[in-house]
């Protein structure tokens, strides 16, 4: 006796989870090294007095703010606060710039205001084609910032405009955003691990330079 067909709503949920599992498998194979590298580099920059700027649109804006909140606050372990700004959260600046210069410039102009050589700009986009993020990447590179892009399937213009990118191969925008959240959490975890190891590492470097 054959089993009755699954309820359409339940089948929708199963398909979503199946595609998410496939996307997560691809991220584990191809993205972990990049996130670990970013965590170490971010630790070097922020503990040295640098800053992280982050931006996105829609759900990606929420994830950019999630990332900066974990750095200004804390992820798991107790540590000092670090400088990190989610550019979309500057609502008065956003609306003023959008009104006076156009929406394509809402992030680029803030990068000019807040970014300093050696800082990091993290840009999140499921499509990798948002003009305001691409403009921010171009402006940041001209100003001497390091640009990282967390996007959907590559190649895409934002990934090409960044110094380094992590492109998520997933079947839907929702799955891309879900993997981006995993990447954000892992970045924070790798950052914390790298920060905790910095005193010992710097002590070794200092000793080596004076011996």
- What is residue 208's predicted lDDT score, i.e. its pLDDT? 55
| Nearest 10 degrees: Cα torsion 160, 40, 68, 176 | 50
- What is residue 203's predicted lDDT score, i.e. its pLDDT? 46
Domain boundaries along the sequence of the chain = 49-205
Tell me the mean pLDDT per 10 residues along the chain, length 211: 72 90 91 96 97 98 98 93 97 97 98 98 98 98 98 97 96 93 97 88 50 39
How does strand 52-56 pair with strand 84-86?
Answer: parallel
Distance CA 28, CA 204 (A): 32
Spatial contact of 38 and 46, defined as CB atoms under 8 Å apart: no
Superfamily of domain 49-205: Glucose-6-phosphate isomerase like protein; domain 1 (3.40.50.10490)
């Amino acid at each position: 006796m054959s089993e009755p067909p699954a309820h359409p709503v339940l089948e929708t949920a199963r398909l979503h989870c199946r595609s998410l599992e496939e996307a997560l498998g691809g991220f584990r194979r191809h993205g972990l090294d990049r996130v670990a590298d970013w965590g170490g580099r971010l630790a070097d920059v922020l503990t040295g007095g640098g800053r992280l700027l982050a931006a996105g649109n829609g759900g990606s804006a929420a994830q950019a703010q999630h990332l900066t909140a974990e750095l200004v606050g804390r992820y798991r372990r107790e540590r000092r606060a670090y400088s990190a700004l989610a550019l979309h959260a500057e609502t008065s600046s956003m609306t003023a710039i959008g009104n006076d210069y156009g929406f394509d410039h809402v992030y680029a102009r803030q990068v000019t205001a807040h970014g300093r050589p050696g800082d990091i700009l993290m840009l999140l986009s499921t499509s990798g084609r948002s003009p305001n993020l691409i403009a921010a990447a171009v402006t940041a590179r001209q100003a001497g910032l390091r640009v990282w892009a967390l996007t959907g399937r590559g190649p895409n213009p934002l990934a090409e405009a960044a110094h380094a990118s992590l492109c998520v191969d997933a079947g839907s925008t929702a799955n891309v955003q879900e993997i981006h959240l995993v990447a954000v959490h892992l970045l924070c975890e790798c950052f914390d691990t790298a920060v905790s190891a910095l005193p010992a590492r710097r002590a070794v470097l200092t000793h080596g330079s004076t011996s």
